[in-house]
Chain A
Amino acid sequence: MNLWLALQDPNTQWVLAGCILLGISSGVLGCFAFLRGRSLMGDALAHAALPGVCLVYLLTGSKSIGLFLIGAGAAGLLATYCITSISRHSRIKEDTALALTLSVFFGIGIVLLTYIQHSASGNQSGLDKFLFGQAASLVSSDVTTMMIVSGALILLTILLFKEFTLLSFDAGFGRGLGFPMGFLDALLMLMLLMTVVIGLQAVGVVLVAAMLIAPAVTARYWTDKLSVMAVLSGLFGAFSGALGTLLSTQLENLPTGPTIVLAATCFFVISLLVSPRRGVLVRLIRFLRLRSKVLHEDVMQALYERMEEPHHLQAGSLTFGIEEHELAEKSGKSTAAVRKALRGLRRQGYVRAVDEASGHRRWTFTPEGLKKAHGLVLNQRLWDVYHMNEDRYASQHIDVNREELASQLSDETLAQMLEQLHAYNLTPKLNQHVPAASQLHPTNRGGLSV
């Protein structure tokens, strides 16, 4: 069927509207469930709904959605109560309690369902549609119910947004401010339950949890603000609903519920990979960059420190340079890594090769590189001095996570440290202007230009 034709079909329009609404409300509420660490609660609630639905059918014999919602809601509440009381009153942990309640309720539901089917009271067909959902069977009255419920849920979320934010991040603080946190928690649970129940018909017991989890996790990748996250999550939910519905109209036999879930998963995987701040790719790039930066700095330090050694210095190392394998030995890296770093450094104009023609390639600094390496080595040694005498400098409020130390120090302390460096004979001896150690005096700030 053509996509445009499919959209003209009023049936498809109802289904589409239903799935989009479901996506929005489950996306928004899923955010709070996600932040409260309750993502799998939706799964448990959905499974627990089955015996509720079956009992309602057994008792009333009708298949009205409204009654089913009430039955599913009651069973969900009971399941929530079971989960909390099992994990509170025994040594069984919450995850086991969750899995236990979920499966036992579902088992009872299956018993009731098969009992209904086998007792053959006629009009029982359609009950098992709750297992996998059948979005295609949504009709206007269902969508109206969904619209009312999800509208109310979204409105309530907007009204209580501040309270729910407090609940998600710092319930103890909220209690201190006098908010009824227990009541709000229960209310949030109830709202989750309503979302699950309206989702049952569209995507089914097993997959409705995905609608709560996937959009919220996806949105988390794009923002750090809860309000933005809730909006984004609603949008992702709506898009997956729409995409899943439209895709399933295009292919025969493609069930709507799982397709919606797969669409939501696709959004998640894409975000996981390419999100600008927490995405896997970005983090990989950042990691590689950091690694290459550290490698460059290590090689520069190794080169500097090799040159600085007295016998090299006397042999005029600044002019004749150092061989690659010596640098590898000094820095503890492989020769290949050192060579790669040196090539990168040459591109940046920090080092140059000497004697390239003779086969023994040796490396030395350009004036600019020497200045940079001097800064690096000095910074490294200042840190060493700081760590050796931490108690003495404890009053300085040094942020050990920052790279540079000198800029965090007062002139006085810096002078003190340089003097200490000199006493340890650790003052960097090579400098653009003063290439010999003897000329360096601690009071000229070690040649540091800060």
Chain B
Amino acid sequence: MNSLWIMLTGALVAASCGFLGCFLILRRMAMLGDAISHAILPGIVIAFLFSGSRETLPMLIGAAVVGLLTVFFVQLLHQSGVKSDAAIGVTFTALFSVGVVLVSLYAQQVDLDLDCVLYGEIAYVPWDTWEWGGMDMGPRAVWAVGGVFLISLLVVGLFFKQFKLCSFDPAMAAAVGIPVLLFHYLLMTLVSLTTVASFESVGAILVVAMLVVPGATAYLLTDRLHVMLFISMGIGVLCSVFGYMLASWLDSSIAGAMTAVSGVLFLLAFLFSPRHGVVAKAIAQRRVRVQNRQTKPASH
């Protein structure tokens, strides 16, 4: 039962991250996802210090606020003439440092382990259950991640057309009257929420892997956005199942193993994708070369 809960949590994390990650990849903001996932650390710690407990809601709020602040700072620095990659680098390292310093200074009050923040402890998920009305409702993490996943499904589902247009052609979207900036911040809010809901399970850094890798893999396999979204969620589930198996075989971190599996899946897609894979391209090139060789003498 426990392993089932762990796999379910992992699958939910990977699917919800992969789902939003598709949009990040299409908008070339993968590193912004990385930045947000690092930068929410101070938000989590401050929410912790204020609420004094590990309640999910204050953490979600704190993280969402800091996540939006990160995006805002990056944009502000970019507008004042700093290159965007440097702006991302300066912002997230600064915020992450603030978080680490806060954790270290209030180590007694804050029941947060830095290792746990970095690579999560999905193995303890089944024991941290949520009781409601005296009933055991199952692991809290499942509810948190599942809830956030539902929210992002709902928001993206409602505004799918707008998100799609903003991802592929922001100028056109602005021209037809879609508030591009609003959707940008909406997406970033969803990313922050998902990140913080997932971070307990997989840790701040591996969230990035879940955000980027399934989406990138799906991007190599299809040319249609909604297919890409489904594939990335499916890959997330695969990562979770195989990652859990790998981790129990090696007796290592489950989150790390999930990332490693996602890396392997990406490598497979990179090599063998029917249209964009390296092998398919090589075969196509060879065919063209052979054709050329056959047609050339004929033309002379």
Measured CB to CB, the closest approach of chain A to B277, in angstroms, equals: 8
Report the Cα distance A1→B237, complex, angstroms: 53
Counting CB contacts under 8 A, is B75 at the interface? no
Interface size class of B (residues with CB under 8 A): 35 or more
* A131 and B115 form a contact (CB under 8 A): yes
* B205 and A265 form a contact (CB under 8 A): no
* B212 and A90 form a contact (CB under 8 A): no
Counting CB contacts under 8 A, is B234 at the interface? no
Report the Cα distance A104→B30, complex, angstroms: 14
* A103 and B209 form a contact (CB under 8 A): yes
Counting CB contacts under 8 A, is B208 at the interface? yes
Other-chain residue from A86, A104, A119, A217 in contact with B86 (beta carbon distance below 8 A): A217
Counting CB contacts under 8 A, is B101 at the interface? yes
Residues of B within 8 A of A95 (CB): 28-31, 85
* A258 and B100 form a contact (CB under 8 A): yes
Measured CB to CB, the closest approach of chain B to A55, in angstroms, equals: 13
Counting CB contacts under 8 A, is A245 at the interface? no
In the complex, per-residue mask of B235-262: 1 if CB is within 8 Å of any chain A CB, else 0: 0000000000011001111011111101
Counting CB contacts under 8 A, is B83 at the interface? yes
Other-chain residue from A39, A100, A110, A262 in contact with B94 (beta carbon distance below 8 A): A262
- Residue among A93, A103, A107, A110 with most chain B CB within 10 A: A107
Report the Cα distance A345→B115, complex, angstroms: 65
Counting CB contacts under 8 A, is B119 at the interface? yes
* A99 and B107 form a contact (CB under 8 A): no
How many cross-chain pairs have Cβ atoms below 8 Å apart between A and B? 204
Counting CB contacts under 8 A, is A143 at the interface? no
A96-B101 contact, Cβ under 8 Å, with A39-B89, A102-B34: no
Report the Cα distance A47→B260, complex, angstroms: 14
Please provide the chain B residues from 194 to 213 with a CB less than 8 Å away from any CB of chain A in the complex. Answer: 203, 205-206, 208-209, 211-213
Please provide the chain A residues from 350 to 385 with a CB less than 8 Å away from any CB of chain B in the complex. Answer: none
- Residue among B85, B220, B266, B276 with most chain A CB within 10 A: B85
* A110 and B86 form a contact (CB under 8 A): no
* A108 and B101 form a contact (CB under 8 A): no
Report the Cα distance A338→B119, complex, angstroms: 61
Please provide the chain B residues from 147 to 204 with a CB less than 8 Å away from any CB of chain A in the complex. Answer: 203
Please provide the chain A residues from 244 to 264 with a CB less than 8 Å away from any CB of chain B in the complex. Answer: 251, 253-255, 257-259, 261-262
In the complex, per-residue mask of A205-216: 1 if CB is within 8 Å of any chain B CB, else 0: 011011011101
Other-chain residue from A111, A214, A265 in contact with B256 (beta carbon distance below 8 A): A111
Other-chain residue from B105, B209, B253, B281 in contact with A254 (beta carbon distance below 8 A): B105
Residues of B within 8 A of A132 (CB): 100, 114
Please provide the chain B residues from 271 to 294 with a CB less than 8 Å away from any CB of chain A in the complex. Answer: 276-278, 281
Counting CB contacts under 8 A, is B82 at the interface? yes
* A100 and B260 form a contact (CB under 8 A): no
Measured CB to CB, the closest approach of chain B to A129, in angstroms, equals: 11
Please provide the chain A residues from 93 to 118 with a CB less than 8 Å away from any CB of chain B in the complex. Answer: 93, 95-96, 98-100, 102-104, 106-115, 118
A265-B90 contact, Cβ under 8 Å, with A37-B83, A100-B30, A103-B213: yes
* A118 and B119 form a contact (CB under 8 A): no
In the complex, per-residue mask of B90-116: 1 if CB is within 8 Å of any chain A CB, else 0: 100110111011001101000000110
* B276 and A108 form a contact (CB under 8 A): no
Counting CB contacts under 8 A, is A397 at the interface? no
Residues of A within 8 A of B295 (CB): none
Counting CB contacts under 8 A, is B88 at the interface? yes
Residues of A within 8 A of B107 (CB): 253
Other-chain residue from B83, B211, B213 in contact with A39 (beta carbon distance below 8 A): B83
Counting CB contacts under 8 A, is B19 at the interface? no
* A114 and B253 form a contact (CB under 8 A): yes
* B104 and A254 form a contact (CB under 8 A): yes
Other-chain residue from B83, B118, B212, B215 in contact with A131 (beta carbon distance below 8 A): B118
* A93 and B89 form a contact (CB under 8 A): no
Counting CB contacts under 8 A, is B140 at the interface? no
* A206 and B96 form a contact (CB under 8 A): yes
Report the Cα distance A251→B83, complex, angstroms: 35
Residues of A within 8 A of B263 (CB): 100, 104, 107-108
Measured CB to CB, the closest approach of chain A to B186, in angstroms, equals: 21
Counting CB contacts under 8 A, is A326 at the interface? no
* B251 and A103 form a contact (CB under 8 A): no
Measured CB to CB, the closest approach of chain A to B49, in angstroms, equals: 15
Report the Cα distance A128→B118, complex, angstroms: 11
Counting CB contacts under 8 A, is B80 at the interface? yes
Residues of A within 8 A of B278 (CB): 89-90
Residues of A within 8 A of B206 (CB): 103, 106-107, 110
* B262 and A104 form a contact (CB under 8 A): yes
* B252 and A103 form a contact (CB under 8 A): no
Question: What are 17 A-B residue pairs whose CB atoms fall within 8 Å in the complex?
Answer: A90-B270, A90-B277, A92-B216, A96-B219, A100-B266, A106-B209, A107-B255, A115-B251, A131-B114, A131-B115, A206-B96, A210-B89, A213-B86, A217-B90, A255-B104, A257-B97, A261-B97
Could you list 6 further interchain pairs (A-B, Cβ under 8 angstroms) beyond the known A108-B256, A114-B251, A210-B93? A93-B25, A100-B216, A107-B257, A111-B252, A131-B118, A253-B104
Binding site for A on B (CB under 8 A): 25, 28-31, 33-34, 38, 77, 80-83, 85-86, 88-90, 93-94, 96-98, 100-101, 104-105, 107, 114-115, 118-119, 203, 205-206, 208-209, 211-213, 215-216, 219-220, 246-247, 250-253, 255-260, 262-263, 266, 270, 276-278, 281
Give the top 10 A-B pairs by smallest Cβ distance, nearest first: A107-B259, A110-B256, A103-B209, A210-B93, A104-B263, A258-B97, A111-B256, A213-B89, A114-B253, A99-B30
Binding site for B on A (CB under 8 A): 34, 37-40, 42-43, 47, 86, 89-93, 95-96, 98-100, 102-104, 106-115, 118-119, 128, 131-132, 206-207, 209-210, 212-214, 216-217, 251, 253-255, 257-259, 261-262, 265, 268, 272, 278, 280, 283
